[in-house]
Structure formats: structure tokens, C-alpha cells
Amino acid sequence: MAADPETRLRADARRNRDQILAAAREIFAAQGAEVPMEEIARAAGVGVGTLYRRFPDRDALIRAVAVDNFDKVLKDAKAAKDQESSNWDALIRLLHQSMELQLSVQLAMVSQRALAILKSDPAIKALRDDLLVVLGDFVQGAQAEGKLRTDVATGDVAMLFAMLLRQMPSKGKEVARMATRRCIGIMIDGLRAGRNEALPGRALTSADLDPSG
């Protein structure tokens, strides 16, 4: 039985929105947030009019991409919490899946416009706060398991996430991916409980983080 016109219209609208977000995510990551909207529409395979009906201006599109990114990471974090056998394993899985956050971090670094949106949008703030709660559970749980060093806190791990995602230029995507995997491996080794050297200062908490992080 064929879908009714209204259902087809909703499905088409959803597909158009998903295509626009996917194209914007890729183009923003490669070229920054100031790419012409026409280029994003072309990459998404939709007309400029369709793009502007879904996202009336560039700020709305930047906001939607950032919300979509943080939402994906939060869902990954909750899935890791439900599916992994330990908090340490969940934390490691989240570290390896952290690339979804890269675009939001890059946008905040290279675009003052995007930085203002990331700081002020309540939906982004709510997702960020929820993610920090889940991350905090992983940190405390992994420490209770004896697998994560005890002289770090949620803010330390969040800072490591952010530093990891600020990739240096490299010769090609494969080198960048390999570099990221190696950095994650070094990070995990440094976080693992064992005969670690003492860290300077004190453990960083969520309260030490800047809202744009």
C-alpha cells in the first residue's frame, strides 16, 4: 500500500534535512563555516530554496550541525554505558568514537560566529552538560574499578578529548586517521592506573571547563 502524500512529504523533508546536514558537516570540517550556502546545497543535491526553507540562515545551519554532532556523541556514550562490561571499557570506546565531536571543536576554533553559537545555544549547552555527566560516571566508575588513575577528574579527560580533536595538519586523510589512533593509544596509556608519575597542579573538574569546549 502506497504511502499517503503527507507521509511522503514528511519523508522527503527529513531526507533533505539529513542530506543538507551531512553535506554541511563535511564541508565545514574541510573548509570552515563561511562556505557559500549555494555550495552546501549543491553538495547535498538540493536546491538553494530547499536549503533556506530548512535553515533560514547560516547561523541556523551551524547550530543544527553542532546539535546533531553533540547528539550523536551523547548517544554513543549512552550506548557504551549500556553495552560495555566496565566503565573503563566504556570510556575507551567513547575515546575511539570521539571523532564526531571534531567538527564542533574545529568550528569553535576557526569561526568566531560558530563559537558564539556554541556558547549561547541552550540545546547545545544541554547536550554538552549531559555528555559531561556520562563522562563523569565513566571516570568515577573506572577509578572505582582500579583501572583509571585516581589523580584525574572529568575535566582532565574532557580536556584530553578537546586536545585530541585539535588535529595538526597532516599529509592526507590516512595519515590523519593513523595519527589520531596513535594519540588515542598514548592517551589511554597515560590514563591507565599503574606506576604513573605525579601530575602537576590538581585534578580538573567540569567546573574548570570553558562553556565553548
Q: What is the pLDDT along the chain (213 residues), one digit of tens a residue?
A: 455 666 766 888 889 999 999 999 888 877 888 899 999 999 999 999 999 999 999 999 999 998 998 898 899 999 999 999 999 999 999 988 876 667 777 777 667 888 888 888 899 889 889 999 999 999 999 999 999 999 999 999 988 877 776 665 556 677 777 887 888 888 899 999 987 888 889 998 888 887 654
Class of the domain covering 67-208 = mainly alpha
Give me 141's grid cell.
566508575
- Residue 160 vs residues 16, 52, 86, 169, 176: alpha-carbon distances, Å: 35, 37, 21, 18, 17
SS3 call for 199 = coil
Query: In this structure, which CATH number among 3.60.20.10, 3.30.70.100, 1.10.10.60, 1.20.1250.20 belongs to the domain 1-56?
Result: 1.10.10.60
In the chain, ranges of CATH 1.10.357.10 domains: 67-208
In the chain, ranges of CATH 1.10.10.60 domains: 1-56
d(CA 108, CA 101): 11
